[in-house]
Amino acid sequence: MRRGWRVLGVAVLVMLLPLQALGGVQLSRRPAPPARPHPVRTPPAAVELVGVTFSGKLMHRDDFSVQTLRHLQIRVAWNVRGQVQHLELVSPDGAIYQPLDTRLDAAGRASRGVVETVVPVAGTWITEHSLFGLWTVNVYLDRDHAPLTSASFLINP
């Protein structure tokens, strides 16, 4: 009878070993510590595009028609400090349409953390020469050579 219990005990151990190797059963192991969440990184700047119609209505979007668009507001919310915000407005053919610089306040911030730049559209080179298509705004801080962020928008006829 003792031999039967021994055989049964050995059989149970032999059956548990493959389960332990697969991670199904853990014998005398401490539980793993909980995984640490990855920190959420805040981007240094965020771009919001707001179209303003001839009647003054604000359009929060990224596609506009020259039939209704008077000018475009480019709003950059900063999460870092610097001296000068530099925007490159890139036309659909890839050429820099207009560089736009804005000096930040003495503390290196924009008022309320947002810099607003107005780009006229109606009656400008854009409408006179039908510069329709996908435009890009590249945002730089100080003398950075690579943009910190970019945004694209579409101007339709």
Q: pLDDT tens for residues 106-143?
A: 665 655 588 999 999 999 999 999 999 999 999 999 98
80 lies in some domain: yes
Between CA 94 and CA 147 the distance in angstroms is 15
13 lies in some domain: no
51 lies in some domain: yes
140-150 tens-digit pLDDT: 999 899 999 99
31 lies in some domain: no
Would you say 26 and 119 are in contact if contact means Cβ atoms under 8 Å apart? no
Between CA 13 and CA 18 the distance in angstroms is 9
CA 130 to chain centre: 30
59-80 tens-digit pLDDT: 999 999 999 999 999 999 998 8
Which of helix, strand or coil describes residue 154? strand
Q: What is the CATH number of the domain that holds 64?
A: 2.60.40.1930
Task: Give the range of the structural domain holding residue 85, as residue numbers without chain letter.
Answer: 45-156
40 lies in some domain: no
